[in-house]
Chain A
Amino acid sequence: MTNNSSEYAVILEGVTYYYPDSKEPAIENVNLKVKRGEFIIIAGPSGGGKSTLCRILLGLIPHYYGGRLYGKVVVEGVDVVRSSMRELVGKVGMVFQIPENQMVNLLVEEEIAFGPENLLLTPDEINKRTSWALNTLRINHLRQRLTYTLSGGEAQKVALASVLALKPQILVLDEPLANLDPLSARGFLEILYSFWRENNVTVILVEHRLADAIKYAQRLIVLDKSIIAEGRPRKLVEEGVLEKHGIEIPSISKASKLLGINKVPLTISEALPAYSKLIKYDNCNPHFNIERGNDKSDPIIIVEDLWYTYPSGEHALRGVNLRIHKGEFIAIVGANGAGKTTLIKHFNGLLKPTRGRVIVFGMDTRKHSIAELSRYIGIVFQNPLHQFFEETVEKEVMFTVKNMKVKNGEEKVKEILKELKIYHLRYKSPHEISAGEQRRLAIASILVYEPEVIVLDEPTAGLDYRLKHELLDIIINKMLRKGKTVIMVSHDMEFLANAPIDRIIVMEKGRVILSGHPREVLYRVDELNLAKLTQPQIPELITLLRADKCLRPLNINELLDILASR
């Protein structure tokens, strides 16, 4: 019996949990055993109870949240329900989704010492652990930095270090990649994996962006209220259970399945041997042509030598030139802090140029108010919660209608809520509805007054695979088909590869370093890496096979078409 219990880091038996005042369980009858030293990934749709599970492992549920918890929870031999938080502290470490929200102190060094200080370790021991944590994650150079000056990727590594300083036996990470740019996300995973390999620690990673993470996992668990599938990642991918439950699998795996390749690869490098037989184009004339967008008509947005300097003296934009034409679908990509959001804030006059000018539908933005410009340019910002304040979904959309003095306002609101499939929620509070519904509501409250140009700032942030599909469908059917111009800020490369984009604009440090059709941009590895971006998987595969001079598929469908036409 004692042997048996020490074999497992986590034992959950029939666990069901209700948040206080909730009639629906957040998770239901969850049975899960995690072996010591295992590396598992928990995936599942938004609202499937992943964060709840993390809180249970930490003891935050029930000790901090209350509510009703049924079943047996044993973590590192400690019965979570029967014992107090004190017995669990230090055994389980947790890294949260938003790096800045988990940092308490001003200096990186202080932040890492925070946990051990609370546990009354001696200064010598704390310093030893701080140095160890910093060296293990190779971030010793950050030691004396101020926490608010760190980039997202750096901050997330510091958050991990601050947890490691407690020497936990179990590491729980709740979507740690959600706010990182693609290159930082890869870097974070690599460092996590090498830490796990070198130390005897159990890793439980919650993530729905599986493309990069899946290769590290020994076991994959799909949680949607209860565990609906579990097993070795390759097995689950081959059986097709993941797609059935709306979970993204790596494009390369999906393509290989459709092509009937035996032993479905999980990574590009695994896939290379099979594909090098399928795709042989060493010397050839290019088989692709790069489509040119609609640039004959007059541009509707003209950006001329735009400079923008923040009051702090930081140059956010340094000489941006841009022309956007009617009906184009444009993506602006780049690392966090490259100036993407600063640029789009110039389109409706939220920011005025420090130098240069921005002309929107013939109006110089310096001479027109935000309200005037917003009639033509509707911006949907990244965080839907930044705009919700009304009691109901319907009133939330009415707010824009009244401000913009839309004719037949009530009719229009009804129409748009129906189109975006949130009409049945019209009397609910915007805070009660799910993440995907909130995103659609934010879009509805802009679409309702029918601006000519719709700007979406990081619209895929926090959305799972299924919700991203819905979003793409809205962009195509409710915006582009109606002749709207769409500008999307994003660093979700797989999404970009699957969207009918006319032009990708790559920004780095306030400048546009590359602009062109996806077929060109997504194959320019150097510029993408400079902007902290990665290639989507299919272009990466073709580039590694050195076939990119001849063919340039962007996504699975295009790859299959090319292979079928041969």
Chain B
Amino acid sequence: MRLAVIESIRDAFSYERKSNFVYVLDPRTKILYVACIMVSIFLINDWVRLILVLLAQLPLAIMGRYSRKVLNLLRGLSIFIIFLICFNIVVTYIFEGFRLELSSLINTIPAMIIRVIAALMALSFLISTTSPWELLQGLSKLHINYTYLYPFIIAYRFIPIMFNEMKSIYDAQRSRGLELEKGSVIQKARKLIPIIIPTIVCALLRARDLAEAMEARGFGYSKRRTFYRPIRFKLMDLAFIIIYIVFLVIVVGFWDKIMYLSSVE
């Protein structure tokens, strides 16, 4: 079960190379886009407008063909989302003076779920259509030193490898009679030691190899670096970002006025 969650997250955030309009956008454009979506979904509270933001993301998901990944991710995280909702209900219940109003729940719970979906969709867009290298270039054009960014790329690349290694380690220890399922909570925690220690040892050895390989290829040679495929902010990026910003500004800022005007009519 726990593994299924990890796999679905890994799958949702895995980059696949395809040739498509969403893949040629400047990574800076994509970062800006995700930031705008994130800000707007936290500024609006009613589920009607949140659905609009969600729908606005759909064309990208269809073009980038990552909608299946978002669904997998939701399925993987469903337990977490349910937990979040329950937690939220309990907190409101306490802060509202131990009263629960059904009407407010009907508004807040769907809004919360849609918000989570909208946020996940935006993140999936960024991560599954941009290679970490492109992201790195985008960020280093924003004057962030690349040596601080590489650890993230390495984490992204090596976390799946380490999960696989942990599975092998778990298998090796189970073959020596380790049974994680049995025993009290404390005993169970102790039984994790035979898995955690080899995982750390092997990760350190990998880190040493990787550090040597990077050092030998001039990593850290200079504070700057060049990029073999320089990113360019194109007309398409400008058009893309204007369309979305205008849309989001209307939905977030001028929604009440539009509603008011249409009701006057």
Contacts from A to B (Cβ < 8 Å): 55, 58, 60, 64, 85-86, 89-90, 92-94, 96-98, 100-107, 109-110, 113-123, 126-127, 130, 144, 146-148, 162-163, 166, 311-312, 345, 348, 350, 369-371, 374, 378-379, 381, 383, 385-389, 399-400, 403-404, 431, 445-446, 449
Contacts and interface: CB of A to CB of B under 8 A. Distances in A.
Interface residues of B, number: 58
A85 B217 CA distance: 11
Contacts of A383: 168, 202
B176 A400 contact: yes
B177 A121 contact: no
Interface stretch (B36-44, B97-105, B110-118, B224-232): B224-232
B247 interface: no
B209 A85 contact: no
B63 to A, nearest CB: 19
Contact of A119 (B156, B157, B172, B221): B221
A118 B218 contact: yes
Nearest to A168: B216
B213 A101 contact: yes
Given A118-B220, A122-B226, A123-B227, A345 B171 contact: yes
A107 B131 contact: yes
A386 B202 contact: yes
Residue in B165, B218, B224 with the greatest tally of chain A CB atoms within 10 Å: B218
A93 B230 CA distance: 26
Given A55-B212, A389-B197, A119 B132 contact: no
Contacts of B212: 55, 58, 60, 64, 94, 96
Given A381-B172, A389-B196, 4 more contacts: A117-B225, A118-B220, A127-B229, A387-B172
A106 B137 CA distance: 14
Interface of B: 3-4, 7, 15-17, 131-133, 150, 153-154, 156-157, 160-161, 165, 168-169, 171-179, 193-194, 196-198, 201-202, 205-206, 209-222, 224-230
Main secondary structure of the interface of B (DSSP, over half): helix
A403 B177 contact: yes
Contact of B175 (A113, A146, A379): A379
A418 to B, nearest CB: 20
A337 B227 CA distance: 34
B135 to A, nearest CB: 10
A234 to B, nearest CB: 33
Contact of B217 (A64, A115, A379): A115
A449 B177 CA distance: 11
A89 B210 CA distance: 16
B130 to A, nearest CB: 10
A105 B161 CA distance: 13
Contacts of B218: 89-90, 115, 118-119, 166
Contact of B157 (A148, A378, A379): A148
7 contacts: A105-B153, A106-B15, A113-B229, A118-B218, A119-B222, A389-B193, A400-B176
Nearest to A172: B216
Contacts of A127: 228-229
Contacts of A117: 225-228
A107 B17 contact: yes
A89 B175 contact: no
A386 B172 contact: yes
B4 A381 contact: no
B174 A120 contact: no
Contacts of A98: 209
Contacts of A100: 161
Nearest to A382: B168
Most chain A beta-carbon neighbours within 10 Å: one of B7, B168, B228: B228
Contacts of A400: 176-177
B153 A101 contact: no
A431 B209 CA distance: 17
B175 A378 contact: yes
A348 B173 CA distance: 12
A93 B214 CA distance: 11
- Best-buried of A104, A130, A369, A385 by chain B (most CB within 10 Å): A104
